Chains A and B, each alone.
Chain A
């Protein structure tokens, strides 16, 4: 199958007062038609920067790649953004314009992409589709008048305005209460089933990825450390970081199971170790870990660890 989106050797470098910092290092990712790819990692792992860079939304950063390909052709982010690829952000209150009514923001998106006709009717239909009650009235609401869950829905409505083929949802449920989080995840799942849309779900929560994604890519310190089918990554993780992350996760299914935290913490960007970036925290550290690791293909996935598959 031809990927919808292919990212090859993406590198993102941010200028900082202390000198340039490499936030993303040589990321390769494919998103296939109709699939949900979960991109999982902790703060500073580069998961958001990867996709913001892909969409051309990091004007201050230096971005180098060996190619970003959309449906078999080199990408022009400006032409695709909002039309074929849409993005929702974690904090809907800052992502939406506080001074514009919800309806205006949806119609604005439709107009920006040259969609004429009854934009108001289309906006109402979109609000209804994302589960906002009384959409005709909500059209006139400002973002601050909506609850957190409703704002996230409104932002999804804006993102869906042009029926994108790929929706990139950056931490769509992190700021939400658990019952509302479940509703928003249900909505994303339903939208994907309806439109055959692909979804990239960026999240720090493995359990959120578990229930929603077909494949998972785990990022650590600006690199992908493991990819594979979601079920395999969660039940038979290969990278020591993925294993550590799963053992750090309190589970309602086994609330009394002891947590086994990963010692230490993520190094600061720009102070990455020269070899394997996880090596200083890894319990299986050997001499070979001091050399940089490559992402190796393994059966059902890929892993960036010299020992994976050997133990």
Chain B
């Protein structure tokens, strides 16, 4: 296995030279959705032709509203679900071509932290069993060694060894999320998909978990695909941010630049809608996102876009990349419209 060497300090690296750790190319996922009364078959294009890469040790934030496909993309990245089309490469290996054994050998290198710290931990298992399970599956270590590794992983996340014999219900939401993080880290992964890891937590606890995720990343050189609807949280952690709308990627680029000068009208609207502590509210989008069952033609955002042009109704904009790696799918930013 040629896994990329990881340097612990890659906080500021907008232009990568190392090959990506995770690379999704033109990935699509369609789910069958039965129309009411089962008469007509329809598909939901949950993820539609999305390309995204995460470098070793890099944190890429994925933002968008409910139903935009960000969670599906996270699951696809780990091949927890099968893509309809497109390729997913991890550490150079094409995940879709791997057989079960080869995939299982890669799994310890890619882990996931879930949103809900309540439903993602088995209530009938002790913390030791929960955190040690990935080792039991992947490493087949004897129990005594497993126990040591569990206690070590609990220590990384700020839980004492006394936690290992207790059950999830004996912990608060923040502590449970620490257990979930320990479970993800025990196999020493290179990539952790964090799917809304702090969304269920109170602000003061959220700040604790964000600080923990930051520290662990620095210590272990972890790469994160950090999925969240909370843009301020993503901006706090990520070096690059990708924005999804109705299954498609509308913009991605260096975090600082994307937050300070968003290019896509949707990103602009999304950022201006975020409540701020010390700023007046700005422009607003009208309406709800359209149903993914019947996405609009052309640019999926044209029905809500304040600057839509006739071309936006008919032709889907392509992603245009500039020299800094900032990509945007918008006819306004395409120098040579089709």
Which A residues lie at the B interface, using CB under 8 A? 42-43, 133, 147-150, 177-183, 185-186, 204-208, 210-211, 234-235, 244-253, 255-256, 259-263, 265-266
Contact = CB atoms under 8 A, between A and B. Distances in A.
B203 A206 contact: yes
A185 B275 contact: yes
Contacts, number: 128
Contacts of A181: 273, 275
B281 A207 contact: no
Contact of B288 (A147, A182, A265): A147
Interface string B207-232: 11011000000000000000001111
A250 B281 contact: no
A244 B206 CA distance: 12
B235 A250 contact: yes
A185 B281 contact: yes
A186 B279 CA distance: 15
A147 B204 CA distance: 30
B278 interface: yes
Given A147-B288, A186-B281, A211 B235 contact: no
Contact of A260 (B65, B207, B256): B207
24 contacts: A177-B65, A178-B274, A179-B273, A179-B284, A179-B285, A180-B288, A183-B284, A183-B285, A205-B203, A206-B203, A207-B276, A211-B276, A211-B280, A248-B203, A248-B204, A248-B207, A250-B230, A252-B231, A255-B255, A255-B256, A255-B259, A260-B207, A261-B210, A265-B204
Interface of B: 65-66, 172, 174, 202-208, 210-211, 229-233, 235-236, 255-256, 259, 269-281, 284-289
A204 to B, nearest CB: 6
A207 B255 CA distance: 21
Nearest to B280: A211
Contacts of B208: 261-263
Contacts of A263: 208
Given A181-B273, A248-B206, 17 more contacts: A147-B288, A149-B288, A178-B270, A180-B288, A182-B275, A183-B284, A207-B275, A207-B277, A208-B275, A211-B276, A235-B278, A245-B203, A248-B203, A248-B207, A255-B236, A261-B204, A261-B207
Contact of B276 (A43, A183, A245, A252): A252
Given A43-B202, A262-B204, A182 B273 contact: yes
A246 B277 CA distance: 9
Nearest to A186: B284
Contact of A204 (B203, B232, B256): B203
A252 B202 CA distance: 18
